[in-house]
Amino acid sequence: MGVFDHAEFDNHESLHYFQDESSGLHAIIAVHSTALGPAAGGCRRWTYASDADALTDALRLSRGMTYKNAVAGLRFGGGKAVILASKNAPKSPRLFAAYGRAVNSLGGRYITAEDVGCSVEDMRHVREQTEFVSGLPQSGSSAGGDPSPWTALGCYQGIQAAVESRLGADSLSGIRVAVQGVGHVGLHLCRLLHEAGAELIVADVNEDNLALVRSELPVTEVAPSKLLYTDVDVLAPCALGNVLTSSTIPKIRAKVIAGAANNQLATAKDGERLAKRDILYAPDYVINAGGIISVAGEYYGSSSEDEVRADVCRIRERLQTIFDEAKSSGRPTNELADELARNLVAAGR
Ligand code: NAD
């Protein structure tokens, strides 16, 4: 398939395809930009309908990482890896060791971490093969470990900013939040929202994850197909991307969309559609930067946990600035965030 004329190709610096016969590994690593530092971004292990879908995901996600890292003020460029899951390539230490060798072969141009379908444990196997991995448990008060709680904290901060801006509420008490996906990030987010007095409506396709949230928190469960259209104040997509489309947006009843999932908008035009409906959208890569902020603190060995926490909490101010600008200019929030990110990358070149 064509790469240079691919709809999601955005002057990516390099694309790398890996296969390892003994473990069954098939992986793609996309390096979008190293203008601000080594290309950093997680590794997604997913069952794709085709190799073409995996490539599309790698291209989109790696560009998103460039933007995310730039707006978060990190000394990282953007990259992303996808491992194509299949029956012939079950999750195994051997698979992640092979993936670690693949990452190592790039000599530090790409730094990996966990994302959907991968765990901290998997990254330990990667670490045996390469130093270019982050998101591993650290000792004492050093930053690092599972990025998900940090991503959830950033989302929580972002939800507060959005609720204040759109609904004029200075507290989340009584605010109804629909959380799509209660996996690593969604569960932590639910805990924070519950502590703040929010009412939780959740959906997931994984019964074990639902059982966990149900055992811990008072939640109302709805079918995954209904969650997006529930009558709530806030919709927090915390599953996969492409949920905000020309067909879903007209039916959404939330006033605020603020969640962790990457690539929530199917196209940039969908940001305009949300703005026209007066739905305040927190650009995904701005609100979900908490995890990569922790990963950066760990990778550069320069931050304590308290410093990472302070940095993650700055997501709230960043979003407030974007929301204020959107109000005064009438421009969609995704457009403003993209412009900011592109300017930062250009200035770093
Ligand atoms: P995860 O795999 O742990 O959780 C995702 C959850 O969504 C799972 O429980 C899954 O069953 C559920 N899900 C899948 N399809 C669904 C559907 N149609 N309806 C409802 N639920 C569905 O992943 P995660 O680490 O929690 O990440 C969630 C999202 O946030 C992803 O898009 C990821 O790329 C993004 N993200 C994660 C981090 C992080 O630190 N983990 C950082 C930035 C962005």
What element of type H or E holds 319?
Answer: helix 305-329
Rounded to two decimals, the pTM is 0.93
Q: What is the mean pLDDT of each run of 10 residues along the chain (349 residues)?
A: 87 97 96 97 95 96 96 96 92 96 98 91 95 84 82 98 98 98 97 98 97 98 98 97 97 98 95 98 98 91 87 97 98 98 91
Decide: 120 in ligand 1 pocket, CB within 6 A: no
Other residues' Cβ atoms within 10 Å of the Cβ of residue 225: 9
pLDDT of residue 349: 76
Q: What is the rounded distance in angstroms from the CA atom of residue 175 to the CA atom of residue 32?
A: 38
Q: If you take atom 11 of ligand 1, which residue's CA is the nearest one?
A: 206
CB of 112 closer than 6 angstroms to any ligand 1 atom: no
Instruction: Show the tokens assigned to 344.
Output: 């930062």
Tokens of 100: 């670690």
Distance CA 293, CA 329 (A): 29
Atom of ligand 1 nearest to the CA of 185: 26
284 C-alpha to center of ligand 1: Å?
13
Distances in whole angstroms, Cα of residue 257 to Cα of each of 86, 210, 253: 33, 21, 10
Q: 178: Cβ below 6 Å to ligand 1?
A: no
| Closest ligand 1 atom, residue 291 Cα | 40
Residue 1: per-residue pLDDT: 59
Rounded Cα gap, residues 141 and 304, in angstroms: 6
CA of 176 to the centre of ligand 1 (A): 20
Helix, strand, coil share (%) of the chain residues, nearest 5: 45, 20, 40
Residue 43, CA atoms < 13 Å, CB-side half-sphere: 30
What local confidence, expressed as pLDDT, does residue 116 receive?
A: 87
Q: Which residues pair with 84 in a beta bridge?
A: 46
To test ligand 1's pocket by mutation, which of 60, 116, 119, 156 has the most ligand atoms within 8 angstroms of CB?
116
For the Cβ of 134 lying below 6 angstroms from any atom of ligand 1, the answer is no
Q: What is the pLDDT of residue 290?
A: 97
Residue 129 near ligand 1, beta carbon < 6 Å: no
Evaluate whether 190 touches 214 at the Cβ level (below 8 Å): no
What phi and psi values does residue 208 have, to the nearest 5 degrees? -65, -40
Ligand 1 neighbourhood includes 92 CB (under 6 angstroms): no
Residues serving a catalytic function are 80
CA 284 to ligand 1: nearest atom: 44
